[in-house]
Amino acid sequence: MVKDLNQSIINYLKVNHGFNSSAKISQKLNVSRKTIIRRINQLNQNFPEKIIISKRSKGFELVYQNYLKYENKKSAAFSEINERQENILTRLLIASPKAVSITDIINSLYVSEAVIQNDEKMISAKIKRWNLSLIRKQRFLSIKGTEKNIRNAIIEVVLHVNNTTEISSLRNSIGQYDDQDFDFALEQLKLAMKSLNNNLPYPYNINFFTHIYILLSRARKFKSVNYSVESKSSITRKSKANPEIFKICQKIIQNIENYLNVQPLSLEVETYYLFEYLISSRFSEKKSEITSDDHKLAERVSQEYITLVSQFLNTGFSKYILNDIKNHIFSMIIRLKMQVSLPNALLNDIKLEYEKVFEATKLASKQVEREFHLPAISDNETGFICLYFVKYLEAQPRRNKRVRVYIICTTGIGTSEIISTKIRKLMPDLKVIGLGSNLEIEDILKKHKNIDLLISTVPLSVKTNVPVELVSAFLTKEDEKNVRHAVYRIQKQR
């Protein structure tokens, strides 16, 4: 696929710094040199500025700063074929379990019957990853599978949740869907956060938001959504044990019924789905607020993860990692049992930047599955767990710090801490005086007049005299080099 090869080229250049010949890249990616050159030209055409430069006899190099500016803006667009197939798949998923007329698809996309038949084969193969099947009956197409699997597919296919860590970026994916629905779903997320007197960090905020948004799209267009709730008796038991959380879900569903102008209680069963998403989210960094029988299991699983990853990496971890990781493991266990999917937009970068730690965590996940008889632990889940080990591996701060930096980060789940601890370890001349969100930047600048350098994972919208260094969420080798240069310039000016 076009998108996959384009991303593979970018990924290769991200970890192989400096100039790389087309021959070297083509050998690694198993395609011709001409294909590499053609794809790089296509990539550069899709971005406002070149993200890959070339020099005769040297090869190609990623312009890292340009790449960071535009990586979340879908500049590397799908090919026409992929766009059409995604369009068809989106219609079928939103309509499921109802069927969609093939004639309507052909007329709206201006394609032939033969083209649609080929698209059917590609779509059928793609949806197998969610245990879904494509059914053709007479002149209609439909997707069959459990409601949970259909919703998991929608989360990735329609909203591209696996490509972003920010809810605001999802607005670019809604396309034909109502922008007003987006704002309403966002208000319901804020209501849940306020009622729980806590924040939902990434990725739980996006997961909860997308569930509400998908419900709005499907309930409005197709009234007969499949409302069979798997393991409802188990959910009912947990809802009685967590009445405050269940009450929040009931309130949000009532708001949705009013918003859609449907009969009261017509979406009542959605309360259970919503409850599943909230109860499988990590509400507190210190202590889980959810009552469940799985707390002891979570502690045992966490200890096993720590033991196994320590063995695989031949290193030890601070005793504090157990308290840090077990809340996440607890929520993961609930997700596994309830079959709630949690897409990980950071997974590709985690695999690239922390390959050994990820592989060790993945081996541990496989052993944990067998030992504790848990459902399969996906790479997405493994990636999130991996970040905890990365955080503690990087946490070796030094004391000689002079240049005062403030780190701006939006991803959560420890990524800002990773940048902070990595900076302290690698650049002892830096003093990290705070971590904050890009939404707080104006207040940060007013409150802290002594900031020498801002290190941010996103472009900042405000103008400031303080130097800003744009980095990735994991502070790669290229980021380290750029930060060092920025620090050197500040010290030289002094």
Does the pLDDT of residue 77 top 50, yes or no?
no
How many CB atoms within 10 Å of residue 237?
A: 13
Same domain for 171 and 208, yes or no, is: yes
**Residues 56 and 83 placed together within one structural domain of the fold:** no
pLDDT of residue 295: 83
Question: 56-60, 313-317, 378-382: which has the highest mean pLDDT?
Answer: 378-382
Provide the pLDDT for residue 373.
Answer: 95
Cβ neighbours of residue 493 under 8 Å, at least 6 residues apart?
A: none
Give the pLDDT score at 286.
42
- Per-residue confidence (pLDDT) for residue 254, from 0 to 100: 92
In a domain, 160, yes or no: no
d(CA 409, CA 419): 9
- % the chain with pLDDT above 90: 23
User: Residues 320-357: pLDDT tens digits?
Assistant: 899 989 988 988 998 888 777 888 888 878 887 788 99
377 or 28, higher pLDDT: 377
Q: Any idea which of 3-17, 242-256, 322-336 has the lowest mean pLDDT?
A: 3-17
What tokens were used for 183? Answer: 């704002």
pLDDT band at 466 (very low <50, low <70, confident <90, very high): very high
Residue 79 has pLDDT above 60, yes or no: no
DSSP 456-483: ESS---S--SS-EEE--TT--HHHHHHH
Is 114 a residue whose pLDDT tops 60? Answer: yes
Average pLDDT estimate for 462-489: 86
Q: Give the model confidence (pLDDT) of 157-178 as tens digits.
A: 877 776 677 777 777 666 544 6
Interval 247-266 mean pLDDT: 87
Question: Are residues 173 and 276 both part of a single domain?
Answer: yes
Distance (Å, rounded) from C-alpha 148 to C-alpha 151?
Answer: 5
Average of pLDDT values for 302-311?
Answer: 96
- Average pLDDT estimate for 27-35: 86
Confidence of residue 103 (pLDDT cuts 50, 70, 90): very high
Contacts of 462 (CB under 8 A, 6+ apart): 441, 442, 445
Are residues 272 and 172 part of one domain?
A: yes
Is cis: bond before 203, omega within 30 of 0?
yes
Residue 161 lies in a domain: no
State yes or no: pLDDT of 76 exceeds 50: no
Asked if 177 and 250 sit in the same domain, the reply is yes
- What's the predicted TM-score (pTM) here? 0.61
**310-314, 345-349, 412-416, 484-488 — which is least confidently predicted?**
412-416
d(CA 437, CA 73): 19
What is the pLDDT at residue 366? 97
Amino acid residing at 228 = S
Residue that finishes a domain, picked among 28, 47, 70 = 70
Check: CB of residue 174 under 8 Å from CB of residue 155: no
pLDDT in tens, 371-409: 999 999 999 999 999 999 998 887 744 433 478 899 888
Band (70; pLDDT cuts 50, 70, 90): low
Does residue 264 have a cis bond before it (omega within 30 degrees)? no
Separation between Cα atoms, residue 313 and residue 295, nearest integer Å? 27
Single-letter amino acid code for the residue at 258: N
- What per-residue confidence (pLDDT) applies to 139? 92
pLDDT digit string (tens) for 172-198? 666 544 678 888 988 998 888 877 666
Pick from 70, 99, 126: which residue ends a domain?
Answer: 70
Shared domain for 44 and 124, answered yes or no, is no
Q: Are residues 266 and 204 in the same domain?
A: yes
Residues 276 and 201 in one domain: yes
State residue 140's pLDDT score: 95
Average pLDDT along the chain: 81
- Give the pLDDT score at 399: 39
When pLDDT is cut at 50, 70 and 90, the band that residue 419 belongs to is confident
Confidence band (pLDDT; 50, 70, 90) for 424? confident
In this structure, is residue 194 part of a structural domain?
yes
Domain hosting residue 473, numbered range = 403-493
User: Do 307 and 334 have their domain in common?
Assistant: yes
Per-residue confidence at 303, pLDDT binned at 50, 70, 90?
very high
Same domain, 330 and 248: no
Instruction: Give pairs for 251-254: CB < 8 Å, separation 24+.
Output: 251/191, 251/195, 252/188, 252/191, 252/192, 252/212
pLDDT at 355: 85
418 and 468 part of one domain: yes
**Residue 211 falls within a domain, yes or no?**
yes
What band does 144 get if pLDDT is binned at 50, 70 and 90?
very high
In degrees, to the nearest 5, what angle opens at C-alpha 449 toward C-alphas 444 and 455? 55
Of 94-108, 200-214, 287-301, which gets the smallest average pLDDT?
287-301
Return the sign of the alpha-carbon dihedral for residues 178, 184, 190, 192.
negative
Residue 158 lies in a domain: no
Of the candidates 60, 50, 14, 163, the residue with the CA atom closest to the CA atom of residue 479: 14
Q: Are residues 6 and 58 in the same domain?
A: yes
131 CB neighbour count, 10 Å cutoff: 13
- pLDDT class for 154, splitting at 50, 70, 90? confident
Q: Where is pLDDT greater, at 87 or 173?
A: 87
Could you tell me the CA-to-CA distances from 156 to 161, 163, 276, 363, 469 in Å, in that order? 5, 8, 18, 26, 31
pLDDT at 384: 93
Tell me the percentage of the chain whose pLDDT exceeds 70.
Answer: 85
Task: Give the mean pLDDT of 429-445.
Answer: 84
156 within a domain of the structure (yes/no):
no
Q: Is the peptide bond before 97 cis (omega within 30 degrees of 0)?
A: yes
Taking CA atoms, 8 is separated from 39, 138, 348, in Å, by 11, 40, 10
The predicted structure's pLDDT at residue 218 = 78
Instruction: Report pLDDT for 485.
Output: 83
At 235, the pLDDT band (50, 70, 90 cuts) reads: low
Asked if residue 290 belongs to a domain, the reply is no
Q: How many CB atoms lie within 10 A of CB 459?
A: 12
Say how many domains are in the chain.
Answer: 5
**Within a domain: 465:** yes
**Distance from C-alpha of 47 to C-alpha of 70, rounded to nearest angstrom:** 7
